[in-house]
Amino acid sequence: MGLFGRDENPEYLMRQAMLFMQKNQHKKAVGEFKKILKQEPRNEKVLYQIGIALNGLKKHNDTITYADRILEINPKNTGAYNNKGKAFAEMGNLESAIKCYDEAIIANSKDYEAYFNKGVLLAKIQDYDTALELIKKSISLNKKNPALHLHSGIILGKMKKNKEALKVLENIERKFGAHPDVTFQQGIQLAEMGEHKKAIKIFENMGESHADNVNIIYAISRSRAAIGEYDDALRLLKKAVSKSPKVIRAWAKDEDIFNPLHANKAFRRLVKM
């Protein structure tokens, strides 16, 4: 007879917790992880996973606390450094985040995730050259991860190297198959190259399952405005604003393509100019 009933068995609890994680039910997952930690307080895997869940709940200080618990047990646990770095990044403490990623690389120079995370962070502060080098390093360590390749394409696009970005995206499709994130980025790169009609066709062909995606709606609105279809652009922009008011209004105000609409009362009312 086992020492634990099913509801107390750490392996069962772990399976339950990971199912909750897959469903993005982070609060329920945290509850299951804590039950395990009562029995196994030094379980590094559980301490790592609860950190991810807490980051998902925006409890970033708690994530840092659990990461530190791991590092007390195992100072070379790169997952802990990465969790801690992501928490600091979400809190806006970029210097501490970069330090965490650097410590992960010192602990294990082949930890692709640390190079990737640092690259993504540097891209956000527009250090694109260094970011691309780091993403390429992460790819060299994990060539079979399409997300890494995708981010190299995204960064090339930010560097206005849109044709190179498109080649990267085409290679991803060839190696790993079609994926909506890749398709969306192909549309974005075409739009950045001024190929707005082609971009619209890509966005509109992404299927009904993505028809309500706010990023796609905004991208089509932007491209409609670029080719002078202002009525459709405003209709779509209104839909996008209804889904994410603060973000879309900020994007629309800063977007040069919408400049011809700055005198339009409907546009000004919509974005609160």
- pLDDT, average across residues 244-259: 96
Query: For residue 262, is it within any domain?
Result: no
Q: What is the pLDDT of residue 273?
A: 87
pLDDT for res 6: 57
pLDDT band for position 16 (cuts 50, 70, 90): very high
3-class SS string, 54-112: HHHCCCHHHHHHHHHHHHHHCCCCHHHHHHHHHHHHHCCCHHHHHHHHHHHHHHCCCCH
Residue 205 resides in a domain: no
Token pair recorded at residue 229: 């279809």
CA 250 to CA 271: how far, in whole Å? Answer: 8
Q: Which of 9-23, 110-124, 162-176 has the lowest mean pLDDT?
A: 9-23
**Percent of the chain beyond pLDDT 90?**
94
User: What number of H helices and E strands is found in the chain?
Assistant: 16, 0
Structure tokens at 64: 């840092």
Averaged pLDDT for residues 29-35 = 94
What local confidence, expressed as pLDDT, does residue 209 receive? Answer: 81
> What is the structure's pLDDT at 7?
64
Asked if residue 207 is part of any domain, the answer here is: no
Mean pLDDT over each residue of the chain, to the nearest integer: 95
pLDDT at position 208 is 82
- Ramachandran region of residue 207, left (φ > 0), alpha (ψ -120 to 50) or beta? left
CATH number of the domain where residue 55 is located: 1.25.40.10
Give, in degrees to the nearest 5, the angle at Cα 135 between 134 and 138: 90
Evaluate whether residue 72 is within a structural domain: yes
Q: What would the pLDDT profile of 205-243 be if each residue is shown by its tens digit?
A: 998 888 899 999 999 999 999 999 999 999 999 999 999
Between CA 76 and CA 53 the distance in angstroms is 21
- CA separation for the pair 228, 31 (Å, rounded): 53
Q: Tell me if 34 is assigned to some domain.
A: yes
235, burial (CB in 10 Å: exposed 0-12, middle 13-18, buried 19+): middle
Taking the C-alpha atoms of residue 220 and residue 123, their distance in angstroms, rounded to an integer, is: 24
Amino acid (1-letter code) at residue 177: G
pLDDT of residue 1: 36
What's the rounded Cα separation, in Å, for the pair 165 and 189?
Answer: 7
Choose between 3 and 100: higher pLDDT.
100
pLDDT above 80 (res 204): yes
The verdict on residue 81 lying in a domain is yes
pLDDT tens digit string along 119-135? 999 999 999 999 999 99
* Tokens of residue 219, six digits: 């991208």
Which tens digits make up the pLDDT trace of 140-195? Answer: 999 999 999 999 999 999 999 999 999 999 999 999 999 999 999 999 999 999 99
Range 196-202 contact pairs with CB under 8 angstroms and sequence separation of 24 or more: 196/223, 196/224, 196/226, 196/227, 197/223, 197/227, 199/223, 200/224
Q: What is the pTM of this model?
A: 0.87
Number of domains in the chain: 1
pLDDT exceeding 70 applies to what percent of the chain?
97
Please report whether residue 144 resides in a domain: no
Is residue 22 assigned to a domain?
yes
Full residue range of the structural domain in which residue 50 is found = 1-130
In 3D, which of 84, 93, 23, 92 has the Cα closest to residue 55? Answer: 84
